[in-house]
A and B are shown apart, each in its own frame.
Chain A
Amino acid sequence: MREFETPPRNWQSAGNPVAANPNKRNQTMACFTAPLAQAVAIHVAKPAECQKSRNPFVARLGVLQNMLYGGSLLLAIEHVWHGEITWRYPFLTAIADGDVAGMLGEIATVGVGMAFVVTAAWALYVVAAEALSRAAARQKA
């Protein structure tokens, strides 16, 4: 009679950081790097006197930058809390564990999604603020 191997007790948690640590909801590894990269790109690319620009989207780039930098900072604290960022090289535990492909996939899905949602919310804010200021100008005239 063939004997079946009984799985080890911790077979569900083996190699699964979520099951191994119930406090960790999902595998958020470095998702904040995508909005942070966008914030740095805006910081480098935005014109010096952008607040005086006639284009409302350019004039309000500072708002988007504050949302991206601030949100990335607060998310980085969450990653430090979950042990996904360390003080030692290579700073990301996903790289130290050899799960670079999983980390890049997570940045490409969750991270880019975060950057997109923040940018969409900012665009809605600019459109609403512009409509309100035009309505106020029309009432004055």
Chain B
Amino acid sequence: MCELMAIAAAIIFTAVFFVRRHSGGDASAERTVALAFWGAALMWAVDCVHAFATEGELLDLSADDAKLGAVVVAAGLMLYAALRIRRRITGRA
């Protein structure tokens, strides 16, 4: 579930990045967070393949893993908020 939530967050932030860039705004914060989620999703994909090879289970769909996914998405949103605040204060991302 954590892997699926990271992929969903990466797709959403990538879409937000393209919309913001198309409208002419500074989309560097969206770009950074989207790349962070894509990096995490790729890393968890390797972890899933390793889990499948060793335990025979590709995806963990437990409630505990969903909670972890929510915490990870919340951490990504906090990173996004921090980058936006930094951009507003310093004028650069």
Contact = CB atoms under 8 A, between A and B. Distances in A.
B76 A74 contact: yes
**Which of A25, A32, A68 has the most chain B CB atoms inside 10 A of its CB?**
A25
A26 B35 contact: no
A58 to B, nearest CB: 17
Interface stretch (A46-54, A113-121, A128-136): A113-121
B37 A113 contact: no
Contacts of A25: 51, 55, 57, 60, 65
A133 to B, nearest CB: 15
Interface in A41-77: 63, 66-75, 77
Interface string A99-141: 0000000000110011001100100000000000000000000
Interface of B: 2, 6, 31-33, 35-47, 50-51, 54-55, 57, 60, 62, 64-65, 68, 71-72, 75-76, 79
Contact of A118 (B42, B51, B55, B68): B42
Interface of A: 18, 23, 25-26, 28, 31-32, 35, 63, 66-75, 77-78, 81, 109-110, 113-114, 117-118, 121
A31 B38 CA distance: 17
B47 A110 contact: yes
Contacts of B62: 23
A114 B32 contact: no
A66 B43 contact: no
A114 B2 CA distance: 16
B71 A77 contact: yes
B82 to A, nearest CB: 12
A66 B64 contact: no
Contact of B72 (A67, A68, A77): A77
A38 B79 CA distance: 21
